[in-house]
């Protein structure tokens, strides 16, 4: 069972806006920045969002992150078929002194 809770699945149709939640607690999300990664099957994860809402170079502005209290969210607007992937949130947990990941959310574009 993951320290960070994500829905196991999410779906949307092309053009829609989808959000993926990541719920934690004070020692992790409550006190530290959240990163989001996406991963296609058989490939390495890639950074999508860092420091809660910052996009690295090359990530489209369709992807946005936010954080409030002990929860974070990833929003994908203008959904495209190539967005079909697994998405993970992660942050540092100052109580456990480890990086914690969410269990992952499989996004399906219908």
Partner 1 sequence: EVQLVESGGDLVQPGGSLRLSCAASGYTFSTYWMDWVRQAPGKGLEWVANIKEDGSEKNYVDSVKGRFTISRDNAKKSLYLQMNDLRAEDTAVYFCARDLMGASCHWGQGILVTVSS
User: Which residues make up the interface to partner 1 (CB under 8 A)?
Assistant: 2, 33, 35, 37, 39, 43-47, 50-51, 54, 56, 86, 88, 90-92, 96-104
Cβ-contact 37, 47 below 8 angstroms? yes
Residues 6+ apart with CB under 8 A from 70: 23, 24, 25, 26, 28, 29, 30
Would you say 97 or 110 has its CB closer to partner 1? 97
Q: How far is the CB of 23 from partner 1 (least distance, A)?
A: 15
Other CB atoms within 10 A of residue 56 CB: 11
Q: How far is the CB of 18 from partner 1 (least distance, A)?
A: 19
Would you say 90 or 109 has its CB closer to partner 1? 90
């Amino acid at each position: 069972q993951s320290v960070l809770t994500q829905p196991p699945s999410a779906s949307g149709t092309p053009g829609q806006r989808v959000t993926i939640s990541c719920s934690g607690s004070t020692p992790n999300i409550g006190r530290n920045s959240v990163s989001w990664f996406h991963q296609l099957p058989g490939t390495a994860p890639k950074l999508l969002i860092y420091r809660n809402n910052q996009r690295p170079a090359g990530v489209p502005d369709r992807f946005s992150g936010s954080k409030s209290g002990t929860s974070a969210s990833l929003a994908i607007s203008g959904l495209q078929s190539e967005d079909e992937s697994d998405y993970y949130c992660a942050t540092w947990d100052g109580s456990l002194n480890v990086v914690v990941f969410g269990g992952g959310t499989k996004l399906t574009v219908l």
